[in-house]
Structure 1
Amino acid sequence: MSNVSLRHLVKRYGKVSVVRDVSLEIAEGEFVSLLGPSGCGKTTILRMVAGLIEPSDGTITVGGRDITRLPPNKRNVGLVFQSYALFPHMTVFENVAFGLRRKGENGPALQARVEEALALVRLAGYGERYPRQLSGGQQQRVAMARAIAPRPSVLLFDEPLSNLDAKLRDEMQIELKRLQRDLKITTLFVTHDQAEALSLSDRVCVMNDGIIQQFASPEEIYHRPATAFVAGFIGKPNRLSAMVKGGAVELAGGLVLHPTSLAAKDGEAVEVFIRQEAVTLSRTAGTEGEAVPGTIALRSFSGAQVQYVVRLGASSEIVVEVPSSGEASNLSQGDTLFVNIRPQDIITLPGGQAA
């Protein structure tokens, strides 16, 4: 039996549906991310699970218990906000103890639970400090300790790392993954950051316009997107229009590619997705896959990577990303070369799907 079950969940505000018939089954101990652009409905779903928003239709169960209409304090879920939401006038210890006190915990039992939670987030000995005396990452870990101290059935994260700088965000991703692994607690994580979702999650639920586009493992989401929206949202894709001809796809200008997988029939329009990082550049044609002649139209250096805009034929262009220390890092505008693309890296989906 699933630990968390969302069945036909709907949320309407007047005539506008922000969540439309969403059903998810999340296994016990699983880490699932809700991923999508702003306004896709992911935070609304999280807040319905937390009890902060009431569904218009549908049911929410945790461990087989229907919690759809229960108040937040009766759901046994832990929630970590984007803004930390710590009490500035309370010490770290009192912030973590807050939820436990409301449940009637006190004395040595409360002391032990708070110390255990702080140790889990690597803040043992910080109990007497105040939030203003902590870094952003430490404050976020206090918020995590407060959420796990009552030992919830489900842990909910509402974009908890978005306020941190890039280096600290990377460090906190590791902390989050370690904490979830150690606790083996079912986790629902909301983010608009695809790298965050892919690196943390057992499965990712990609959403758009209140609808689930795909719910699968990070590997499947990345390599086998189910819709044009997923293919365009994940990674750094080049998106090209093409027509199927003789088991291949023909791009504008007559360039022909031969993808490994092609479900469309001859004469059908398709959209072709080629990720920037899946392409290599060389002076000579590669021995594996497609080798398409190209010309460098633009070069952009960004530290670890160099991005090129490469013109293919008369009317197609793609963006290619290569390591700045690699052989192809010193090409210049106007240089001619070969764009090498493996057939398995050419993703095709039926034309006309909204993205």
Structure 2
Amino acid sequence: MARVQLATENFATAGALTTPNWQQLNLFWSTVTASGGVVSATSSNTNQQAAARYIGSTAGSVAFTKAQYAAITIAGLSFLSADFSIGVILAATGDQDTSVQNTRDFYFAEVQANSSGPTYTTRVGKFVNGTITVLATASATWANSDVLSFERTDGDQLIIYRNGTAVGGSFASITDTDAALTGVGLPGILSNGSAPTGDNWEAGNVTSSSTQNLAGGATGQGSAGAAAVVTKPLAGGASGQASSTGTLAHTVPLGGSATGQAGAAGTLLGGATITTAPMCNDEGQVLANYAFALVDVVRCSDGQLMNLFAAVSTNGSGVLSLSHASLVSGTWYRVGPIGPNGSGGYWCGARAYQAA
């Protein structure tokens, strides 16, 4: 398996993690907070972790897929309480009904600072509609500066790693197909209490084959003589960034040629635009030239989150126009705009539109 890094965070900005890059999941009214370059939670209780999911921009504007990973460096494992922990989450939904606690769903992997070491209780589980289910738990060796990483594969396998090596043992074969977690969701952070702490979080997609730049060919750095599917930019060709003599399908913009998109001699597939109906508030007033904090786009056929658009504005007629290389013409997507601060303002409701 290979990893494609899409997002990172070093917690340099103090305070609760918030927009435009983070969304608190409001579990038990505790928050994930950065202080002194590390991250922890504002409070602690048994099985009452704080969590936040990443909603910021990604490298190449590539969307997270079902097969995703998240990783965090353990900055401190001071023993303060058996409940204190640090970890990461995957496939996190962003339910916005803050009047109902604990409605968010996600998978998690965490290390509990419940001893003086070197072994600590380690858990892999899921949080669904307010209920924690532990899928595997065991003592494992951890130390400060270790990297805890967690993957979900397309085959619904959950794998926890320490410094790039699968922990194994009780964690060797975990598979889960909970109906509440079949969608893509987003990766993030899990924490309980002011210690332990974490640093240098990252996340991305897990692939079964390489998605790195293609190299070689007479044109210099990137020439494909047959059909090629890529999820990262191709480099090469006289015009600079991409050349192909076969069919080329892509999920991110390709650079090169006079237009800066693709120097392709064959057929170029991918990229489309969604044009919505006029956006209105609850009173039926058209929201002309209105700036939405976030707009999520989900593929109707399988619930996959394709992209999160930040700070998107309607035109003078209240219409949103959303273009992205991951969108496919003729495919139906559910578009959900959220008001100015992500939790207030106008929520226009999700509607389905066909990309063109």
Q: With structure 2 as the length reference, what TM-score do the two structures score?
A: 0.25
Greater C-alpha Rg: 1
Greater share of residues in strand:
2
